[in-house]
Structure 1
Amino acid sequence: MDIDSVVIASPSSNARVFHQGAHVEQWTPQGQEPVVWVSQASAYQVGKSIRGGIPIIFPWFNQGRTLGLRPRHGFARTTKWEYLGSRPLPEGGMQATWFFDPTSAQEAEGADLFPYDYALHYRVSCDEALTVELEITNLSDEDFECELAFHTYLQVGDIERTTLEGLDGVEAVNPFISPEHFTQEGNVESLTGIDRVFFSGPNLTVRDEALSRNIQVESEGATNTIVWNPGPEGAAGMSDMGDDEWRQMLCVEAGCIYDNAIVVEPGRTHTLSYRLSTTSL
């Protein structure tokens, strides 16, 4: 591997985080299968995104609201963050912190497209749950608008035996199929090849029959839930994903994207948080 990482270990779970992108690459509770998935074909190279884990999407999602922005999903996920160290939590867990500002990305592709003064602080807390928190502070003298997301890849035993519970009645759109919004009715049961945006932050349960567990996903500061699985055709077109790996992963993302992009006023901070925990079926 060409990029450095740190392991955050607690009595109940452990996580590995790469300094490039402050990228949580895995999280595993004691005695369980990993909860955060990563592709066996993923590149671990300078300037290359990791296929899996929890990429930090900032300051735009995909190609941005105006389209055509590069790189896709912004520059934060492929730029090295400053690691500020770790500390024990009162409950017995561990927390690590990273820092990112415009000087970190001054040579990065696309950095000139977001010409503001800002600071990002990112905390990863590891105990019986995994909690990640991103604080965006506007240090400039004008408002700025940005999109952000935690592009979280979850490990499941079999995507065809996996169900999402907790999105019944939420407004949604399949953006690459139709611009029409609709209301989700019942659980989301057909997840192979899904690419759906919900207009509510994720507070839901991933029911995984194959691994006999539930994954609880909770968030604050998010206006959207993005659910994605590439299916067999999508996976076949990715050099950093095995042809059959789509069966064991599901992205359940928390974000503020598209028309729900956030506006941060001078001197103000927006915080996006995301929490994972598990229970047995």
Structure 2
Amino acid sequence: MGVSEPRHARPHRVKTGEGVDHPLADLLRPEAGQSFRWTEQQGRELLLVEHPRCTAVFSRQGGQLLHFQPRGERPLLWCAARWPRIGAIRGGVPVCWPWFGRHPMESGWPHHGWARLSDWRLTGKEADATGVRLNWRLELHDWVVELEAELGDEMHLRLTTRHRDSETCVLSHALHAYWRISDVARVGLLGLDGAEGRDLLVREACRQEGELRIVDGCHRVFRRGGKVTIQDAGWQRRICIDGGGNANTVVWHPGSRPLGEVSWSEGLGFLSVQGAACGQDGVTLVAGEEARLSLRVWVE
């Protein structure tokens, strides 16, 4: 599969306000007839994906999927309209790797690791009647991490880490997805009834009983993967998220706590439900071993 180099375009204005599907909507022109094309926005190189079954946007920084919209549906992913001049883009599906949260020993190292701050290499892309497939790759010292994306009527992401050092290492990682919703107060998360884990806001163990709803913030790491469903009463849709064999499901929303460069009203439009292996469920890898995460997502 051939990979073309980016061609820089003049920056496009970002839309804001009620009724706009996505802050990157101005960039997408499916009628152009190109499945893949490069552009630039807010200082980042972006790969635009325009296919009869879906549209999507990736950032080279982080190998990060910022937007995904199946034909006939609202966008599935939320993305902040304003990005920091330097640093991680908030939104889409950041790759937290090779650690989740704060590094356990190095306080000055970046939150959620190096992957979302590094430029990834696009190693393959192809399109057919069912959708598109892309492969992104990052090599860092003795680690190799690859992100495979299959996009069409559904979204399927697979993250694979290969450890090549002779020393045993501990890995924690996450696909930190921000799902676009009508209003965080009008959604419930199904599928975690009985799941145990840890509430990171109060720093104690927790057990979910029934549907999870956000009252004023949430940051819980559940020791369960599998399928969960965001039931959105405001938009009358269900986002089904299948984490397969992932060790953890992480649920996060800041509530009334401020987020840098994100307005209060803008922040009401997402819920982060992540596939992860973190904390006590981090993966110990010896030389030559692999670790995997996956997310498969569709709308009902």
Query: Which residue in 2 is equivalent to 1:255?
Result: 276
Query: SS state of the match for residue 244, structure 1?
Result: helix
Over 3 Å counting, the alpha-carbon distance change for 1:222 and 1:230 in structure 2 is same
Q: CA deviation at 1:247?
A: 1.3
What percentage of residue pairs aligned between the two structures are identical? Answer: 25
Report what 1:123 is aligned to: 148
Instruction: Read off the aligned partner of 1:93 and give its amino acid letter.
Output: G
Matches within 5 A, 1:126-137: 126-137=151-162
CA-based RMSD: 1.6
2:201 and 2:218 in contact (8 A); partners too: no
Q: Distance in 2 between matches of 1:166 and 1:191?
A: 18
In structure 2, the CA distance between the partners of 1:188 and 1:3, relative to structure 1 (3 Å rule), is same
Residue 209 (structure 1) aligned with residue 220 (structure 2): no
2:94 maps to what in 1? 55
Q: Distance in 1 between matches of 2:179 and 2:117?
A: 20
Structure 1: distance between partners of 2:206 and 2:116: 31
Q: Aligned partners of 2:280, 2:81: CA distance in 1, in Å?
A: 35
Cα displacement string for residues 119-157 of structure 1 (whole angstroms, at most 9, x for unaligned residues): 111111111111111110011122211110011100100
* Unpaired stretches in structure 1, ≥5 consecutive residues: 103-115
Matched-pair contact (CA < 8 Å) for 1:8–1:95: no
Contact 1:201 1:224 in 2 (8 A): yes
Aligned to 1:80: 119
In 2, distance between residues paired with 1:183 and 1:69? 33
Cα distance in 1 for residues equivalent to 2:96 and 2:54? 25
Which residue in 2 is equivalent to 1:111?
none
1:1-281 to 2 correspondences below 5 Å = 1-43=42-84, 45=85, 47-66=86-105, 68=107, 70-88=109-127, 92-102=130-140, 117-179=142-204, 181-232=205-256, 234-235=257-258, 238-279=259-300
Aligned length: 259
CA gap of 1:134–1:95, structure 2 versus 1, over 3 A, is same
In the other structure, the counterpart of 1:108 is none
Cα distance in 1, alignment partners of residues 234 and 216 from structure 2: 15
TM-score normalised per structure 2: 0.82
Q: Cα deviation per residue 1:20-56 (whole Å; 9 max; x = unaligned)?
A: 100110111112221100112333x4x4111111000
What is the CA–CA distance in structure 2 between the aligned matches of 1:142 and 1:31, rounded to whole Å? Answer: 49
Higher relative contact order (CA 8 A, sep 6+): 1
Unaligned ranges ≥5, structure 2: 1-41
Give the counterpart letter for 1:251 in structure 2: S
* 2:268 match: secondary structure: helix
CA deviation after TM superposition for structure 1 residue 196, in Å = 1.2
1:105 aligns with none
| SS at structure 1 position matched to 2:166 | coil
